[in-house]
């Protein structure tokens, strides 16, 4: 892994699990972490009660992880006992280092009602502390990507974790380009989706976006695989423009998995 100027910090147990570092009786979490590093393709650190690459409550070590970094990307699933507090510590340290902060924030599913409500209450605070916030609703991933009865729950969890990891990887990849010129609003909702036809994946995401009634503008950014055809890109742009009256910004990812798309829509910050 080559040197980078982006620090990714995974905050809390649920976010750690989403990166595939899951506690088990026969699993060495350092081995799982190293495997996750190889898959993710970028260096990342973990701060959680169960497993950490940086000692908890050690600001000096957190600051060391941000040395010579331009952007800090903290990721958490909001509403837990620890992740949100860690996020605030990480953002405070990033500001001390003079780094930009792009927070990736997950909202728990409907059946975790208490956690979901706590997360939604905490969301405005984290958004206010960040330069840009990217919010993903785990329930929307479920609604878009799972046809009830066709897949097992455990398979869905693995799939959703994979989609989130790939989304964060695509975001970090794009930070080597004009990220803040493209993502120039303070808050975006996003939904990663899979479908054989990229245009259908985009429209499924579009119709299942969080904060449907709170859009700041009709601005949207769509991340597509590197092998999506020009004719498909034209069809996607036309369908979205006809639906909302504005042509989306198209960003081409580094990977070639054309079944996966990530749709971001600007929403009103708090």
State what percent of residues in the chain have pLDDT above 90: 61
CATH 2.40.50.100: does it fit domain 189-270? no
pLDDT at 162: 85
Query: Is the predicted pLDDT of residue 89 greater than 70, yes or no?
Result: yes
> What's the per-residue H, E or C state across the chain?
CCCCCEEEEEECHHHHHHCCCCCCCCCCHHHHHHHHHHHHCCCEEEECCCCCCCCCCCHHHHHHHCCCCCEEEEEEECCCCCHHHHHHHHHHHHHHHCCEEEEEEEECCCCCHHHHHHHHHHHHHHHHHCCEEEEEEHHHHHHHHCCCCCCCHHHHHHHHHHHHHHHHHHHHHHCCCCHHHHCCCCEEEEEEEECCCHHHHHHHHHCCCCCCCCCCCCCEEEEECCCCCHHHHHHHHHHHHHHHCCCCEEEECCCCCCCEEEEEEECCCC
Higher local confidence (pLDDT), 187 or 244: 187
pLDDT at site 3: 52
What's the pLDDT tens digit per position in 195-219?
Answer: 888 899 899 888 888 876 555 456 8
Look at residue 2 and tell me whether its pLDDT is greater than 60.
no
How would you classify residue 224: left for phi > 0, otherwise alpha for psi between -120 and 50, otherwise beta? beta
User: Which CATH code of 3.40.50.1440, 2.40.30.10, 3.40.50.2000, 3.40.30.10 fits the domain covering 1-184?
Assistant: 3.40.50.1440
Structural domain boundaries of the chain?
A: 1-184, 189-270
In the predicted structure, residue 148 carries a pLDDT above the cut 80: no
Q: What is this structure's pTM? A: 0.92
pLDDT in tens, 168-189: 999 999 998 899 999 999 999 9
At residue 54, the pLDDT reads: 95
Across the range 90-102, mean pLDDT stands at 97
Lowest mean pLDDT among 73-82, 123-132, 254-263: 254-263
For residue 234, what pLDDT band results from cuts at 50, 70 and 90? very high
Q: What is the mean pLDDT of residues 19-46?
A: 86
**Structure confidence at residue 193 (pLDDT):** 86
**pLDDT confidence of residue 216:** 46
């Amino acid at each position: 892994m080559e040197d980078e100027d982006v620090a990714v910090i995974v905050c809390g147990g649920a976010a750690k699990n989403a990166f595939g570092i899951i506690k088990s009786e026969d699993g060495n979490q350092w081995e799982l972490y190293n495997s996750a590093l190889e898959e993710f393709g970028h260096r990342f650190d973990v701060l959680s009660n169960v497993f950490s690459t940086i000692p908890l409550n050690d600001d000096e070590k957190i600051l060391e992880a941000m040395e010579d970094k331009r952007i800090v990307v903290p990721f958490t699933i909001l509403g837990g006992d620890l992740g949100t507090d860690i996020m605030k510590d990480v953002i405070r340290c990033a500001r001390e280092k003079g780094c930009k902060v792009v927070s990736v924030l997950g909202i728990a599913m409907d059946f975790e009602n208490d956690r979901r409500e706590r997360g939604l209450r905490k969301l405005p605070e984290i958004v206010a502390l960040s330069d840009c916030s990217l919010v993903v609703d785990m329930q929307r991933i479920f609604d878009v990507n799972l046809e009830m009865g066709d897949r097992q729950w455990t398979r869905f969890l693995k799939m959703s974790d994979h989609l989130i990891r790939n989304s964060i990887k695509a975001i970090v990849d794009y930070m080597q380009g004009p990220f803040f010129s493209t993502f120039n609003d303070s808050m975006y909702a996003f939904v990663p989706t899979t479908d054989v036809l990229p245009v259908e994946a985009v429209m499924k995401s579009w119709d299942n976006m969080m904060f449907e009634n709170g859009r700041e503008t009709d601005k949207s950014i769509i991340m597509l695989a590197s092998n999506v055809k020009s004719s498909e890109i034209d069809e996607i742009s036309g369908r979205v423009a006809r639906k909302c009256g504005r042509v989306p910004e198209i960003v081409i990812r580094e990977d070639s998995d054309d079944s996966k798309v990530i749709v971001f829509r600007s929403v009103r910050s708090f």
